[in-house]
Chain A
Amino acid sequence: MTSGRLADLLPPIAFGLAVLALWEAGVRLFHVPAIILPPPSAIAMRLATSVPTLAADFNQTIRGVLAGYAIGSLAGFVIAVLIDRSEFLQRGLMPIGNLVSALPIVGIAPIMVMWFGFDWQSKAAVVVVMTFFPMLVNAVAGLSSAGAMERDLMKTYGADYWQTLLALRLPVAMPFIFNALKINTTLAMIGAIVAEFFGTPIVGMGFRISTEVGRLQIDMVWATIVVAAVTGSLFYALVAGVERRVTFWHPSYRAKEA
């Protein structure tokens, strides 16, 4: 790790530790009851002693997250490519996609549970509904972002539709597509966890949060929140890392190196 990277990491770490210290001090000083807000020390202890439970919950929820993320993003991408040739289809499908993405999770989730059962499949279905439209919109925008000069160049090379798509338009669309992929990591986490409030076998991060709140074990709720936050951040960082490799040519990365 270069000293530059270390210098970048120091402020957030220091700030984070300061927030934790203030939290701990505040809870103790003002005698805040643990069922309202537990101190970070209690949460850490609960994290340490509940690893099997939290691991099982993670295992259950992540299946819904990843399956839904993959299917939703892929479907959005495939549909975008398919309607790329038809202006008519684009104008027709976009408003419908918009409508589908605006459906509230708390409405879709119980319906998906009725259709797909209590297990992770219904959570994946909810995530698919949430991640489809962002990918569709961004992929369509990305596919139309190739410059006129570059497209003319492909024409002079005698490239057909598919060659132009693979050599020019898809690479140019990558920044947009990765934009959608990054947004979808967050949506997938939210969708899977909230969907679990509405019907689940008795394991899963959403289940854990809703039942431990009912049992007034708020430190366990916070422990699950920590796991969810770390998972979400790692997921996002992973996608951002892949984006770096794939879109290395983009000015935003080149500017940083300079």
Chain B
Amino acid sequence: MKSILFAIAGVAAMLAAGVAHAADKVTLQLKWVTDAQFAGYYVAKDKGFYKAENLDVTIKPGGPDIAPEQVLVGGGADVAVDWMPAALAAREKGALLVNIAQPFKRSGLELTCRRDTGIRTPQDLKGHTLGVWFAGNEYPFLNWMAKLGFKTDGSPGGVKVIKQNFNVDPLIQKQADCISTMTYNEYWQVIDAGYKPSQLVVFNYTDEGVSTLEDGLYVMQDKLKDPAFVDKMARFVRASMKGWDYARAHPAEAVKIVLDNDSTGAQTLHHQTQMMAEINKLTAGSDGRLDLAAYRQTVKALLSTGGSNPVISKEPVGAYTTVVTDKAFGKK
């Protein structure tokens, strides 16, 4: 008798729980693997910020050669983290991505060179072999080379480019004189490989004036026609920015949350702690709204790349929207 009563109570509890959990589902596609670069979203999930906004968020890690734009176009996610150059280029190709929020205020992209190659200024890059990431990450580099006047096809008077995988081996193995690094990730991999900062020369894209907006949140344009979707995204952005604020206030706890969510076990406490510190520098000062001046600077930079394969050939229209951030935080 007692066991039957328990069983009935159990079923009733489950049914009650099922009714209460009518949370809106959101799938987020990350730009890279689970690491502190996306701490804000993992913190928001684990600390219950998404749940408080009645959202059930699934976070899909990215990886080498996973282009977030393609996942969005293929319908594999509602919202994706992407860099603005890749999103604008995709938009021109007919994949109508729209920026709904910009958590990263600053750019972390740099070109790291070995000091023993003799490179001291950007002009010295001429004739050297440079490692560049592709899969949408090459646009800021192409923009910078166009500004310096260096051809990238290996012709004399230009630079030689190799497609760098998402590691720092070409620099360590001396197959490239300089490689692409992020302030928060690959630069520290070079340091961990035994190089001292005094043995490296680093060109930060922001300092060179060729930085473009990085991690932003993008959705497909046609989905924004649905007011329920816009509302869902507003709640998502609000909770995500709360996650980023928390990560800046409690970095050690954020690192622990990221490591807990890393199913591959590839990330280490040491590396993630460094990464979190650097990422917090990039999100500091951002309230989630897209800074229109920064947007215009990115667009201008991409339009001027020129050459036979410009990143974008005309001024984008409708590439960003403020409806989501207006709904989330109120009109500015």
Query: Which A residues contact B (CB, under 8 angstroms)?
Result: 33-36, 110, 114, 117-118, 197-202, 207, 210-211, 213-217
Known: A33-B94, A114-B173. A214 touches B134 (CB 8 A): yes
Smallest CB-CB separation from A200: which chain B residue?
B163
Q: Which residues of A contact B74 (CB under 8 A)?
A: 36
The size of the chain B interface, using a CB distance under 8 A, is: 30
Instruction: State whether B154 touches A216 (Cβ < 8 A).
Output: no
Instruction: State whether B90 touches A216 (Cβ < 8 A).
Output: yes
Instruction: State whether B67 touches A213 (Cβ < 8 A).
Output: yes
18 additional A-B residue pairs with CB within 8 Å, beyond A216-B70, A216-B95 = A33-B95, A35-B70, A35-B93, A35-B95, A118-B162, A197-B65, A199-B163, A200-B162, A201-B161, A202-B152, A211-B134, A211-B138, A214-B86, A214-B134, A215-B89, A216-B67, A216-B90, A216-B93
Partner of A215, one of B136, B169, B175: B136
- The interface bits of chain B over 57-101 (1 if a CB of A lies within 8 angstroms of the residue's CB, else 0) are 000000001010110011000000000001001100111000000
Instruction: State whether A210 touches B94 (Cβ < 8 A).
Output: no
> Roughly how many angstroms separate A118 CA and B176 CA in the complex, as a whole number?
9
Task: Tell me whether chain B's interface is mostly helix, strand or loop, or mixed.
Answer: loop
Give the Cβ gap from A37 to chain B, nearest Cβ, in Å: 12
7 nearest A-B pairs in the assembled complex, by CB-CB distance: A214-B135, A211-B134, A216-B93, A118-B162, A202-B161, A214-B136, A214-B67
> Roughly how many angstroms separate A211 CA and B161 CA in the complex, as a whole number?
14
Q: Which residues of A contact B152 (CB under 8 A)?
A: 202
> Roughly how many angstroms separate A213 CA and B64 CA in the complex, as a whole number?
13
> Roughly how many angstroms separate A24 CA and B116 CA in the complex, as a whole number?
56
Q: Please name 18 pairs of A and B residues whose Cβ atoms are closer than 8 Å in the assembled complex, sorted by A.
A: A33-B73, A33-B94, A35-B73, A114-B169, A118-B170, A199-B164, A201-B160, A201-B163, A202-B132, A202-B162, A202-B163, A211-B134, A213-B67, A213-B70, A213-B135, A214-B134, A214-B135, A216-B73
Partner of B94, one of A35, A110, A199, A214: A35
Give the Cβ gap from B80 to chain A, nearest Cβ, in Å: 14
> Roughly how many angstroms separate A213 CA and B73 CA in the complex, as a whole number?
13
Smallest CB-CB separation from B137: which chain A residue?
A214
Give the Cβ gap from B87 to chain A, nearest Cβ, in Å: 11
Smallest CB-CB separation from A201: which chain B residue?
B162
Q: Which residues of A contact B134 (CB under 8 A)?
A: 210-211, 214
Q: Which residues of A contact B93 (CB under 8 A)?
A: 34-35, 215-217
Instruction: State whether A34 touches B165 (Cβ < 8 A).
Output: no
> Roughly how many angstroms separate A28 CA and B86 CA in the complex, as a whole number?
27
> Roughly how many angstroms separate A145 CA and B65 CA in the complex, as a whole number?
48
Give the Cβ gap from A208 to chain B, nearest Cβ, in Å: 11
Known: A118-B170, A118-B175, A215-B136. A199 touches B95 (CB 8 A): no
Give the Cβ gap from A197 to chain B, nearest Cβ, in Å: 8
Q: Which residues of B contact A34 (CB under 8 A)?
A: 93-94
Instruction: State whether B70 touches A110 (Cβ < 8 A).
Output: no
Give the Cβ gap from A63 to chain B, nearest Cβ, in Å: 16
> Roughly how many angstroms separate A207 CA and B163 CA in the complex, as a whole number?
8
Q: Which residues of A contact B69 (CB under 8 A)?
A: 216
Q: Which residues of A contact B164 (CB under 8 A)?
A: 199
